[in-house]
Structure 1
């Protein structure tokens, strides 16, 4: 790239060039473009200039950071806290009776039937860890690492349908078109990997997430910050392998030729999506060598695979957990694992047992593995769904409905307080009784762990400064180590 005094990485337009008379060019190219304003305010002029030249360049956050990487374990569908984390003796005692009338007074929801009877927990609970939190028999492996977890039993959200609730948990909005938490993280921090995407996504379980790719989308941010979906079997990305007869040298020369044209177009137009296209071609070329090695589970020692319950060649949540650790080791900033579906409107025991069998061992092994490798200190692991389940039965006697008022999630590492059990619900688990953590508060806290003030990590779009927490949220200091 030639010497350039302008922060957006484009060549200087000489006098008389049409660009010098273009308002659009001036706004996009002279350091007062919308993205440049946002990054200039957030990171400073030098960092903003570096970001414009390489949008995925690693950047230092403005505040002291506790975490530099994130692994998000998303249990799509709404895991039942009553069968896993939030033991309610009163609910067990009142099993089969109608809920108190005052509990539902003034409450309206499509998923609350006032004539539904209370449903006590279907499994045994036992105290675990130093805090003595009662944990279900469905989670024997997670119970063993409880002292490394920060468990929040007072999470609450605004949405009660799957797609809006997943979007709300991921983007801070129930509407499509907003950047995901992963995209915001990469926008602020860049990537430490030159050979792999900054943001990688895996899916497992019966189906994909209800909100689809919007869960890892970049919204109005440049698409270079969106997640890249990997497969856990075969080529991680389709068509990554070269066709027969195409040499590595020819591929390199082809990419160089295409990107030379793209750079000319970028200089003339200034569209950040052209920079994304250039980055995509370069990343795809480098990934042909780096990605197969990164996802090669056969390279893992057998005792590690056994700890996770992973089996190379068989797609599973366990395999994806091992891959998440391998990618973070190689500098990937954000790895998101979706496991669907936890939506047990019926067949609660059968399906919940299978989901826990699929995820409990691997989730606990991931925390232990990161800790043993010295990576847990700066890797933030998050386990959550989009909402919880009702304390009342749905339909017959083996299902629970959606419930946004109160649910449980946990975090580990990355500056969170280990061994903490935070917040509690009322005696029936219907509402938060102490220390509520709204989704906006969660996002504010997670960004603070990454070194950002959630009110200042913004991007100007359509005349407004947007942020992950919208106009809400506060950092829950008690969750920080």
Structure 2
């Protein structure tokens, strides 16, 4: 017998093993022929607990912790007590040792009919003063980046709970089943990476979907990996239907969900994304007027930035524009991370770093607010700005600021919040929240409330108990609601 013949020779055992599957599938086909497909996708829109003010959230995440006393919380007393360490601040220890009080070099002025005070670092955002609700009394549990990121996104200082975006999808579903309902935009990996947008014990279909599109990407090549080069859409549909029927049979037999079900849901979503995702992420059809609004002046939306454009700024600006496009296409939660890792972590050269950082985000954020407003989207879109904590009004080294979890600022806009409002207050130096204090759990309770969900009723049974985003904490901040 030749080598070729021997290579393809089958023993009786091989023949039985290889043909059993084929014979079995012939019988299985008749079983599956009358088997019904899954009735409702887990992403289908569901009614809220009560009428919602907001339909979606856009979260602008300033990785690292912006300084409140340089941005949205003016503290003239810092000038008076510069270099000193008043007694009221001595016991407020942070992650690193700090020195005396350091005034902000940036001028604060009043803006809009409300007269809201905003730093000169944000001249474009300041034009939206009457749309902003600045919470100046935020506080959190720890001055550590990782734990504070997890708390802000999941309600827990450890990576063991679902992200708030996953909770919202679980509670409300999405308005567009051809796109992920929870999308994360940015560049590279922020602190904690995917654990910030994990679904944890919630079904895997509610996991956040990270899309990294750098400033020099070309829209025609975006999400190219979604397309199957081997199968047509019809072929993929038949393959998915057959595999899903097998999974349904298995689920009926074992009487429970299984990990493969989550994978099938993801495959279904990827299939549907081939139809609409490329269009959603392709901004080449936007007018030059819109590009100019976001600070993309002189750029065709499909061309890379030239040498004079800052790539990080361009990336953030394009992501802000994409956030508007995703919002109007029914995506429930959109998070935009500015920069890789934690650029706002200004332990040194705080003033010059904040000037550069704010310069990169100011116009794109203002452009997003303007764009949403002129399209009638801001009234039912909740925009959230901030970081995991603030920074000390005292110095670290000669010109830096350390982490400060005792008191910091965030702002909200649209989606049912009162504009032109400064809510709460820190002490005279901007170190600790002292008036109308707002914890992260309160912020989460308020975000869910604006989306039409009662944070105490949005629960999921897991490991013998009912879990919720706010655990056993959280109060809705009713004073900031319209």
TM-score (norm 2): 0.84
| Partners of 1:110 and 1:281 in 2: CA distance | 44
| Partners of 1:102 and 1:281 in 2: CA distance | 56
| Structure of larger gyration radius | 2
Contact 2:116 2:420 survives alignment (8 Å): no
| Partners of 1:67 and 1:281 in 2: CA distance | 29
Contact 1:123 1:138 survives alignment (8 Å): yes
For residue 297 of structure 1, give the secondary structure of its aligned residue in structure 2: coil
Partner of 1:149: 132
| Partners of 1:349 and 1:308 in 2: CA distance | 24
| Partners of 1:216 and 1:480 in 2: CA distance | 27
Partner of 1:319: 318
| Partners of 2:105 and 2:39 in 1: CA distance | 54
Per-residue deviation at 1:237?
4.1
Partner of 1:457: 458
Aligned: 1:70 with 2:57: yes
| Partners of 1:112 and 1:390 in 2: CA distance | 11
For residue 239 of structure 1, give the secondary structure of its aligned residue in structure 2: helix
Contact 1:179 1:219 survives alignment (8 Å): yes
Partner of 1:354: 356
Per-residue deviation at 1:418?
1.4
Per-residue deviation at 1:236?
4.7
Aligned: 1:364 with 2:366: yes
Per-residue deviation at 1:265?
2.5
| Partners of 2:264 and 2:326 in 1: CA distance | 23
Per-residue deviation at 1:389?
0.1
Q: Quick one: structure 1 residues 79 and 102, their matched pair in 2 at CA, closer, same or farther if it must change by over 3 Å?
A: closer
Structure 2 counterparts to residues 41-190 of structure 1, below 5 A: 53-95=40-82, 97-105=83-91, 107-113=92-98, 116-190=99-173
Structure 2 counterparts to residues 322-341 of structure 1, below 5 A: 322-340=321-339, 341=343
For residue 64 of structure 1, give the secondary structure of its aligned residue in structure 2: coil
| Partners of 2:263 and 2:355 in 1: CA distance | 44
For residue 170 of structure 2, give the secondary structure of its aligned residue in structure 1: helix
For residue 66 of structure 1, give the secondary structure of its aligned residue in structure 2: coil
Aligned: 1:257 with 2:238: no
More displaced 10-residue stretch of structure 1: 163-172 or 332-341: 332-341
Structure 2 counterparts to residues 185-196 of structure 1, below 5 A: 185-196=168-179
Partner of 2:193: 212
Per-residue deviation at 1:52?
8.5
Contact 2:78 2:429 survives alignment (8 Å): yes
Contact 1:125 1:135 survives alignment (8 Å): yes
For residue 62 of structure 2, give the secondary structure of its aligned residue in structure 1: strand
Per-residue deviation at 1:79?
0.6
| Partners of 1:266 and 1:459 in 2: CA distance | 20
Per-residue deviation at 1:272?
4.9
| Partners of 2:179 and 2:374 in 1: CA distance | 24
Per-residue deviation at 1:255?
2.5
Contact 2:112 2:127 survives alignment (8 Å): yes
| Partners of 2:317 and 2:358 in 1: CA distance | 12
Aligned: 1:444 with 2:430: no
Per-residue deviation at 1:130?
2.2
Per-residue deviation at 1:424?
1.3
| Partners of 1:249 and 1:334 in 2: CA distance | 30
Could you report, residue by residue, the CA deviation over 1:314-356 in whole angstroms, capped at 9, with x for unpaired residues?
Answer: 5611100111111111111111111132101112233212211
For residue 335 of structure 1, give the secondary structure of its aligned residue in structure 2: strand
Per-residue deviation at 1:268?
2.5
Aligned: 1:267 with 2:242: no
Partner of 2:395: 393
Contact 1:387 1:404 survives alignment (8 Å): yes
List alignment gaps of at least 5 residues for structure 1: 1-50
| Partners of 1:74 and 1:346 in 2: CA distance | 21
| Partners of 2:173 and 2:327 in 1: CA distance | 14
Aligned: 1:472 with 2:473: yes
For residue 393 of structure 2, give the secondary structure of its aligned residue in structure 1: strand
Partner of 1:223: 204
Q: Quick one: structure 1 residues 238 and 360, their matched pair in 2 at CA, closer, same or farther if it must change by over 3 Å?
A: same
Contact 2:63 2:387 survives alignment (8 Å): yes
Partner of 1:17: none
Contact 1:222 1:272 survives alignment (8 Å): no
Aligned: 1:278 with 2:264: yes
Partner of 1:309: 295
Contact 1:131 1:421 survives alignment (8 Å): no
CA RMSD of the aligned region, Å?
A: 1.8
